[in-house]
Amino acid sequence: MSELGEPLVFYVFAALAVLGALGVITLRNPVHCALSLAIVFVSLAVMYVLLSAPFIAVAQIMIYAGASLVLFLFVIMVLNPQLEIGEGALPGQALAAGAVGFALVIVVSLALVGGKLFPTLGPYTPQVIAQQGHTQIIGGLLFTDFLLPFEITSLLLLVAVVGVISLARGRNK
């Protein structure tokens, strides 16, 4: 990536991600919200490519944009919920939530600007990643250092599958 190219790609897709996120929380029609969410997912996949993590980028597209979003759209189509009308339960709910979110961004930014990081750098520079292959390194870590979390994740997926099937069958059968 050239010196000029990286900031350009970053700012374009960061702006797209923020606009898509704002669309998710402001648009009235849930289908439009889901499509805005797709913009966020794809922009973040581009970010992962910029951060030299191509495997994560592909997984992001396949799992989030592919599986999760299609499931969202299916459920929206099946349920066909009405558009939200009017304010929330509390007066000034949107304003208070906006203030909380703004304060969150300010606090995190202050912590970043004021804080200092004394890192011990690992061996995986972008050159090493390009040489060995990102997928190979992630796979190696997953099956050696992180075998226990990996197995627990597979158990979690099993529990989710059983739970979804029992929920979908309903209690009267």
Partner 1 sequence: MITLNHYTILAAILFAIGAIGVLVRRNPLVMFMGIELMLNAVNLTFVAFSRYLQNLDGQVFVFIVLTVAAAEVAVGLALIVAIFQTRANVDVDEIDSLKG
Q: Which residue in this structure is represented by tokens 């919920």?
A: 81
Verify binding: residue 135, partner 1, rule CB under 8 A: no
Verify binding: residue 56, partner 1, rule CB under 8 A: yes
Verify binding: residue 41, partner 1, rule CB under 8 A: yes
Verify binding: residue 167, partner 1, rule CB under 8 A: yes
Least distance from C-beta 170 to partner 1, angstroms? Answer: 7
Pick the binder of partner 1 from 68, 77, 130, 133 (CB under 8 A). Answer: 68
Verify binding: residue 67, partner 1, rule CB under 8 A: yes
Verify binding: residue 160, partner 1, rule CB under 8 A: yes
Pick the binder of partner 1 from 89, 131, 148, 173 (CB under 8 A). Answer: 89
Verify binding: residue 91, partner 1, rule CB under 8 A: no
Verify binding: residue 133, partner 1, rule CB under 8 A: no
Verify binding: residue 114, partner 1, rule CB under 8 A: no
Tokens of 170: 């309903």
Pick the binder of partner 1 from 46, 47, 91, 130 (CB under 8 A). Answer: 47
Distance between CA 150 and CA 162 in Å, rounded?
A: 19
Number of Cβ atoms within 10 Å of the Cβ of 66: 13
